[in-house]
Structure 1
């Protein structure tokens, strides 16, 4: 348009909003510049700012990654192996949604993590076997035992379904499998999580598995004895109880919330009842069952109920009897 002899044109984007001939602006530009601009790990932008497919946010792709922004999450870069995993999982439309933080270095100074709306991706160069998300109830249980520096270590698989079951499972680097069950009416009559070590055993114990029932303080400890564990403890003499107890808890961290002495006594006596009376009765099978199930909600049990053959024959180390 001519005005007073001059041709007027729409104003171009200001020069300081263009990097490598691409438009980078607003909060995404601020984040990009704070990281070092084109000299950062992101390098030059390869797209101009675009709206995400779900309409919630905006993004720019760069040579070394992307920056995503929404009004509620802010602007955060996603790059490297975490970006690759996030992209393969559906970008912001996947389970994890938008990034809530930049990529962070873990306290061990080796692993990396990045928090998203629906969970957190973790990666370690040697123990995680790639990038894996931790989320939901499994993530909550994992955090209670110390995150990646705790009892279970780094996630070493994605969440996966169990054959012929509604259970969801995830492997961790220190040999543990953590599980979530919505309540299948079997072991978990209501929603529960559990943990067990998949790679270790002891002379008397094949595995120890701990169930935590959600929305309650109830926990169930399932012990699977070895062939020797069914018979040797009752003949081992002094110290057998302590030896068996130590083997049980060498395979799994002791459950949180059961540190009170009366809880320890109740669980210990339930275990000892099974160990003392694990006889294989013809036709009927093993007294007390093939696994020793210890229930945290049982009050302390008198020794007379454990040492008396008459009492044991009534309850068979199953305390509802």
Structure 2
């Protein structure tokens, strides 16, 4: 497993629990980011933790972790939620592949890679409010940054009112594609998706 240390598996909760878990933590009384809880910081050897540390830890666009890194009962991979986004390890796209999402400058920012092979371009797909429904899926073709990495940013539309609070939960996945003489050929979708809550 390329040295990745995965914590104990925890089963996914129902949709309302997912939404509650994604609500951003309250800022400190002084308006500054409190020191990160060391019990939530993924240890050395974790791709997620090592990437977060390389980006500046609590000063990065992700902020402090608010959950532990969590594995899955039915597949390889892991995900960890941060104050301002999520980072997920999705090894079906490459042993070093990380899918990342965060909020910045009024936009949702999505990044991924490195994939296990080169691609000509990528597809990004998302749905809203943790309700898988192909009819509501949005898909975009995205030019590659490098043959193994990509990114996409967009302005989300206003959230839906939930008991007086307006928010939506966006759920993301991606795939790589190659151009061909008679059309495009695409690989599998990332099988570890990530989520982010957007509040209006």
Please tell me the TM-score bracket, short chain as reference: 0.3 to 0.5
In our comparison, the structure showing a higher alpha carbon Rg is 1
The structure where helix makes up a greater share of residues is 1
The structure where strand makes up a greater share of residues is 2
TM-score (norm 1): 0.27
